Structure 1
Amino acid sequence: MRSVGTVLFLVVLATVVATGARRWRIPAPSLLVVAGLVVGLAPGVPDIHVTPEIIGLVVLPPLLYASAEEMSWRELRLVWKPVTVLAVGLVLFSAAAVGAVASAVTPLPLTMAFVLGAVLASTDPVAVTALGRRLSLPPRVQVLVQAESLFNDATSLVLFRVAVSVAVASGAVTWPGVGGEFALLAGGGCALGAAVAGAVALIRRRTEDPVLETVIALVTPYASYVLAESLHTSGVTAVVVTGVVLGGTGQRLTNARIRLQLHAVYGTVVFLLESVVFSLIGLELPGLIRDLSNADGLWPLQALAVAVTLMTVRMLWVFPLSAALQRKNGGPESSWRVAAVTSWAGTRGVVPLAAALSIPLAADDGTPLPQRELVLVLATSVVVVTLIVQGFTLAPLVRRSGIALEPAHTRREEAEARSGIAGAGLRHLEQLADLEAVPDVVVDRLRRQLRTRQDHARERLDGDDSYWELRRDLIAVENAELQRLYDSNRISETTRRRIQRSLDLEEAGLGE
């Protein structure tokens, strides 16, 4: 019963804080971590310890899947080279740098120092996606930081497994063995993820039941993750590949009504899971600190040194890489601004926390693993530092850099697209009219509707918002009249819900 109460409390806390973050335009992950810390430090609050199974199996798959589905396959093909450099080279260098610094400034043995480096080497896809969702970054920049965080898991997971095996058994490491494990994790994860995506696509093409479609969408990331892990490949990579493949073909698998439902359901699931997991990060840190021995009192300075190392190493990689790409491709002079945003978007989060929690308690000979508690505290502290420092400052940096897309640019792009779509419909309609395949009265009705859409789009391009304001007022009046009809018992609940849904869809189509 206590566990159920704790979960309910977390859901309520996370929902309230995340709602406030949206209202105040503050990054939700950062504010949630702060709220978790405040609650965890309050007197009388019991220690909360999260198992790696809860994060790895329950939380990660749907969040990774949702992040991967949002990724543009077209933009991904354009940035695969820098993504590969960052997902492999930067991860290796970050692990080595953190291991060296941790070995120098902490009492960690060399083996455990490199376990810490492997844990923190990769950026976190959940945190990066959650922070970048509302920043209006250019598509290529958004895909670059998101793809890097999604695809660097295989590298960091290989490093982590190698570091842990050395720490628990002092076993020898051979490069062929490391290369083979990387190929198994990355290649096997990609292959299995693509296979799951293909199977799901075949099923969804033959399904038109909204409830069944929703269940399939919710089960898909878990199926991909569990199958990959059971075959000893990368579950994270499998989920990412499944999400990318299905995200690029989803509009051809279902109809509009099911897509609306899936979007609403997944939006709710992602909101709740993100809110709870970032609150847990803050809540867990005080308990981990209390588990430390008195000899580890310098952990705040040590965590700060590790966090600064990660940020510095990332800048030392991203800026030269951006300059090299600019010289090769003749990019714009503002590429340094893109590099600044990209380097500062390397937050850590859920994935490093799950890796840290999965560190074994004892070595192969049965002796306790030295300084495991300190590794957990340092890893969680660095996650908290990056989420707070980089999370709260990333949006101002994006605004000052001038690379964010202006709202007017987005509105104009949408209006031009709507006008072009309506024009294509009109041309097809005129062809049908010439063939006399449709009655004239039907053609005239559809022609008026399409021309109205085109006129509305042109009004948006001209900056005339009077139609949209008036239409919102009329929808508000229609909503009031619908409620009056229902209150006076002139229509049933079923009729009210159907008409309300139609009005909601129309209002949603007006945009913000």
Structure 2
Amino acid sequence: MLGLELVVVIGAALVACRIGAQRTGIAAPVLQLGVGVLLGLIPAFGALELPSEVVLLLFLPALLWWEAFNTSLREIRRYRRGIFLTSTILVVLTAGAIAATAHAFGLPWGPAWVLGAALAPTDATAVNVVSRYLPRRQLMVLRAESLVNDGTALVVFGLAVGVVVGEQHLSAVHVGWEFIVSYAGGIGAGVLSAVLWVMVRRKVTDTITASTIFFLIPFTGYLLAELIHASGVLAAVAAGLIVSQTSPVYGSAPARRQVFATWGFATFLLNGALFVLIGIESQAAVRGMEGADLRQALGLVVATALVMVAVRLAFLYISAYLIRLIDRRPKQRLLRVSNRSRFVAGLSGFRGAISLAIAIAVPTTLDSGAPFPARDTIVFVTFGVIVVMLLPAIFLPAVIRWARLPADTEPDEELHYARLRTSNAAAEALPRLAAELDVHADALSRLQTEMREHLDLLEADPDEDGDGTVPRVHGDYDRLRLAVIAEKRTVLVRLRNERRIDDAVLRQMQYRLDIEEMRLLEDPDQDD
């Protein structure tokens, strides 16, 4: 019965936290953590223990796949060097700094590195805490970093645990091989999963079946990666990026709308529930500590959080200036950001689901049967740092205002460009489409008139909401209008492939076209 009670309570908590976030401006994950801590004080919920398999197999594939699906591949290409540095070198440096800090507090080096691996990666879903305050470009870079760095952290974690329990001995060859298997195997599994399911998707016209295929993609990739001991996290991310590129080409409007609605709701529930569960689990972490150990662990939480922020800020500034010294190309200069912007990025390294999963995945015993050293401390400090690192989100909006980040006008400019290009292309193709469909001349004449008026509005007012929606009429006009929509989609995909517009712009335009198409298809005999 506790399971049903937990579902109802978590659902009610998510509703309350969303309302509270809208009214107070405090990020919803912060409120969700607080509610979870309060729920953990209730004995029935405080005894709850969340298995790491639940986080790794239920939450992470779905959440990370959806984040990758909505991430800009163009921005990843544009900032690939910075993303690579922060998702690999910064992760290892952060893990080492945390390990040194934990060792100074009395932890043996092995468990200290396990703690460092757990807390080194940033969290893609936690970045959404500040999503509405940051320019789109900076937000995309933070998300991309968080999507990739999990693979590095999991390799460090596996090596550290293997050494502690007595299964592995470190060597340069062994470490290099682990990284190759993790990254290459994970990405390969994700690519294979996406390609196979996309091939099936091309043969499917049923909306429910198409939505089910979307559901299976991240979990299939994760499973394939786990079977070869690679990174399931990277598999889900790779699959999401591939499907984001193919969905506009092979998907239908009803299927896309259902997928976006279903996954948007599902990931809201999963992400919110995860933060509530983290708060609840914190009670179990506290119960594992007593007296002096608890005081020492609290000190380690604060020290670790400070070290993590310091290392991240130092790396962002030092790496940026080193790149400026080495690479002076004009193209590179266009990618530079201000020191204030870099400071905001340094404070935006939130931790979340992956850190939670790593911490509770620490084994309880060694090969000898002895207890895993300092496991309770690792779990407690991880939970504590997740909470502490989210607290700056309360003040980060003020920091962002202080930073005076430049307005990101590129999305609006690209959106207007896409509207003009698709509308012009559709207008030019209209006579050909009318001939192919053998439509009545009156239908062609009416649509040509409306499209000319629409183009005049776009050229006169860039802010005009140019979704191209026109009243529906019978027969030929509807068929011709659908052909025009298809032509616009073709142009949109071409502009995206030529990197003239971003994935986010394509999705925004596609949403408008999908809505218009569905209105035409749902009730073609009804006039507006």
What secondary structure, in the 3-state scheme, does the structure 1 residue paired with 2:91 have? helix
What secondary structure, in the 3-state scheme, does the structure 1 residue paired with 2:395 have? helix
Match of 2:492 in 1: none
Q: How far did 1:502 drift?
A: 4.3
Structure 2 counterparts to residues 153-172 of structure 1, below 5 A: 153-169=150-166, 171-172=168-169
8 Å Cα contact 1:416/1:457 also seen in 2:
no
Bigger CA drift: 220-229 or 45-54?
45-54
Cα deviation, 1:297-334, whole Å, max 9, x if unaligned, reads 31222101001111100011011222334453224775
Structure 2 counterparts to residues 261-410 of structure 1, below 5 A: 261-298=258-295, 299-326=297-324, 328=327, 329-331=332-334, 334-389=337-392, 391-403=393-405, 405=407
Q: Percent identity?
A: 30
- Could you say if the C-alpha distance between residues 114 and 403 of structure 1 is closer, same or farther in structure 2, counting changes exceeding 3 Å? same
Match of 1:254 in 2: 251
Cα deviation, 1:102-157, whole Å, max 9, x if unaligned, reads 1112x3222111110111111112212x2243234232x22321111111122111
- Could you say if the C-alpha distance between residues 173 and 245 of structure 1 is closer, same or farther in structure 2, counting changes exceeding 3 Å? same
What secondary structure, in the 3-state scheme, does the structure 2 residue paired with 1:152 have? helix
Among 198, 203, 207, the residue aligned to 1:206: 203
Match of 1:5 in 2: 5
Match of 2:136 in 1: 138
Output the amino acid matched with 1:306: T
Bigger CA drift: 411-420 or 54-63?
411-420
Instruction: Calculate the aligned-residue CA RMSD, in Å.
Output: 2.9
Bigger CA drift: 180-189 or 421-430?
421-430
What secondary structure, in the 3-state scheme, does the structure 1 residue paired with 2:46 have? coil
TM-score of the pair, normalised by structure 2: 0.82
8 Å Cα contact 2:159/2:168 also seen in 1:
no
- Could you say if the C-alpha distance between residues 32 and 260 of structure 1 is closer, same or farther in structure 2, counting changes exceeding 3 Å? same
What secondary structure, in the 3-state scheme, does the structure 2 residue paired with 1:417 have? helix
CA distance in structure 1 between the aligned counterparts of 2:370 and 2:115, rounded to whole angstroms: 19
Output the amino acid matched with 2:111: M
Match of 1:425 in 2: 426
8 Å Cα contact 1:225/1:235 also seen in 2:
yes
8 Å Cα contact 1:422/1:451 also seen in 2:
no
Cα deviation, 1:24-54, whole Å, max 9, x if unaligned, reads 4432222211222233246775332211011
Q: How far did 1:364 drift?
A: 0.5
Unaligned segments of structure 1, at least 5 residues = 472-497, 506-512
TM-score of the pair, normalised by structure 1: 0.84
Match of 2:507 in 1: none
Q: How far did 1:365 drift?
A: 0.4
CA distance in structure 2 between the aligned counterparts of 1:231 and 1:75, rounded to whole angstroms: 30
Structure 2 counterparts to residues 112-151 of structure 1, below 5 A: 112-128=111-127, 130-139=128-137, 141-151=138-148
Q: Does 1:110 pair with 2:95?
A: no
- Could you say if the C-alpha distance between residues 434 and 464 of structure 1 is closer, same or farther in structure 2, counting changes exceeding 3 Å? closer
Q: Does 1:66 pair with 2:66?
A: yes
Bigger CA drift: 290-299 or 233-242?
290-299
CA distance in structure 1 between the aligned counterparts of 2:73 and 2:400, rounded to whole angstroms: 24
What secondary structure, in the 3-state scheme, does the structure 1 residue paired with 2:125 have? helix
Aligned residues: 469
Bigger CA drift: 74-83 or 31-40?
31-40
CA distance in structure 1 between the aligned counterparts of 2:45 and 2:390, rounded to whole angstroms: 23
Among 192, 207, 211, the residue aligned to 1:195: 192
Output the amino acid matched with 2:94: S
Q: How far did 1:343 drift?
A: 1.6
